[in-house]
Amino acid sequence: MIGKILKKFDDRFLKSEPRTGKLFAVAALYDTPDQIIHAAEKVSGSGYKKFDVLTPYPVHGMDGAMNLKPTGIGWVGLIAGMSGTFLAFLMIWWMVGINYPNIFGGKPYFNLPASIPIMFELTVLLSALTLVGSLIALFMKLPANANPLMDTEFIKRVTSDKFGIYIEASDPKFKLEEVRKLFEELGSTDISNIHEAEYEVGDTKNPLMNTKFVGALVGTSLVTAAVTYFVLNVLLFLPPFNWMHYQPKVLPQTESKFFKDGYSMRKPVEGTVARGFMPYEFKGMPDSLVVATPNPLPVTQKVLDLGKKRYNTYCSPCHGNYGKGDSRLRGQFPVPPTLHSQKVTNWKDANIYHVITNGQNTMPSYASSISRDDRWAIIHYLRVLQRSANAPDSDVEGK
């Protein structure tokens, strides 16, 4: 059964095309890369224009031997890639800045660093698709996708273990005997004449307008759309695939009929403590009751860099870049006191940690914004600022 199917397939698709008596080209096979390089140099140097070389793998130096001009495919890729970059930039700018603006962390609507990955992806995608389409449609001259070399012994050998060259009969210098003699002098032992094939053109010579081809494209599109619609809208809601969809759950921003207030999202029960987390024991207490525990972080360059980064993010807008109370908000908020006062300088690290965690006066609590280690790192960096503003002579190098 399978043998009959394969034979029918071979008879239908792998049969040899009948040949006409019109000569297409003279082809020659060589055994080594050096021979084909030498043959290409001689053919191009003899003034032939319509010839080509086929090898089972890329041969270094072939472009120079064939005297080929640089291809324009690189410019196509560059223009397509730049178009992808511009379209991605325009799309993101319009969506986040015009169509659906949202504020994330006080950042501007259009954030270029966050948009670069999408711009890069669209650049690569558009460039790749355009290059493939251009290669097939323009450089390979679609729909002229048939070639007399196909289904010949020459093309079978150059795609496996031989190196081949052929000169087309339409070349202005082509003379059959001269070409065959040239190939013989170059060391080829397998020279063949390749004739034009009789193609079954069907109803039209343009396959893009062939009704069967267009029908196959439309049919494939419809089947793909139907299967996708069925899977996403029907199959996933049938047993046993719907067990997660119909489980007891509450969807975001939906009304709850279980709780009286109608809210689905509930606050944790008062006094709830997350596993592995120890609450701050002095929360809500006055500063005088704080036990002066030491800073758990060591004073290292890494910790100071972390403290500087967090200080500049959360503290410097009000306290200033150097903690002098010179707010960077240009008077839009109450100006806080300097962090170089005698009170703060003499405070233990635990007292400063307590203020950051609990807040003080108009300063809110930063417990939910800054992690515990980051708070301790900020204190180390603050000590550096205080020391630099009142550095003793012993800190100066050489004294």
* Each residue's pLDDT tens digit, 323-374: 998 887 777 778 888 999 999 999 999 999 999 999 988 888 999 899 999 9
Mean pLDDT of 307-321: 91
- What string of DSSP letters covers 225-274? HHHHHHHHHTGGGSTTTTTTTTSS---TT---SSSTT--SS-PPPTT---
Query: Looking at residue 278, what is its pLDDT?
Result: 85
Q: What are the beta bridge partners of residue 19?
A: 197
With bands split at pLDDT 50, 70 and 90, how would you rate the model's confidence at 288? Answer: confident
Residues 6+ apart with CB under 8 A from 125: 84
Percent of the chain residues past pLDDT 90, beyond the cut: 48
- What string of DSSP letters covers 309-373? HHIIIIIHHHH-TTSSS--SSTTSSPPPPPTTSHHHHHS-HHHHHHHHHH-BTTBPP-TTTS-HH
Residues 6+ apart with CB under 8 A from 393: 399
Model confidence over 369-392: pLDDT tens digits?
Answer: 999 999 999 999 999 999 998 888
Q: Which tokens go with 154?
A: 């020459």
Separation CA 267–CA 203 (nearest Å): 73
Model confidence over 357-371: pLDDT tens digits?
Answer: 999 888 889 998 999
Model confidence over 26-72: pLDDT tens digits?
Answer: 999 999 999 999 999 999 999 999 999 999 999 999 999 999 888 88
Q: Which DSSP symbol is given to 97?
A: I
Res 204 pLDDT > 60: no
Separation CA 155–CA 163 (nearest Å): 10
Backbone φ, ψ for residue 193 (5° rounding): -95, 130
Which of 87-101, 157-171, 240-254 is predicted with the least confidence, judged by mean pLDDT? 240-254
The helix (H) or strand (E) run that includes residue 69 is none
- What string of DSSP letters covers 112-171? HHHHHHHHHHHHHHHHHHHHHHHIIIIIT-TT----TTTTSHHHHHHTTT-EEEEEETTS
Model confidence over 130-158: pLDDT tens digits?
Answer: 998 888 777 666 655 668 888 888 999 99
Q: Which tokens go with 155?
A: 């093309």
With bands split at pLDDT 50, 70 and 90, how would you rate the model's confidence at 199? Answer: low
Query: Looking at residue 287, what is its pLDDT?
Result: 78
Average pLDDT, rounded, for the chain? 86
Percent of the chain residues past pLDDT 70, beyond the cut: 90
Query: Looking at residue 134, what is its pLDDT?
Result: 83
Query: Looking at residue 37, what is its pLDDT?
Result: 93
With bands split at pLDDT 50, 70 and 90, how would you rate the model's confidence at 8? Answer: low
For the beta sheet containing 163-168, the strands, ordered from the edge strand earlier in sequence to the opposite edge, are: 51-54, 163-168, 19-30, 190-197
With bands split at pLDDT 50, 70 and 90, how would you rate the model's confidence at 208? Answer: low
> Which residue has better confidence, 143 or 172?
172
Position of tokens 């903690």? 323
Query: Looking at residue 113, what is its pLDDT?
Result: 87
With bands split at pLDDT 50, 70 and 90, how would you rate the model's confidence at 193? Answer: very high
Q: Which DSSP symbol is given to 16?
A: P
Residues 6+ apart with CB under 8 A from 273: 279
Separation CA 136–CA 130 (nearest Å): 10
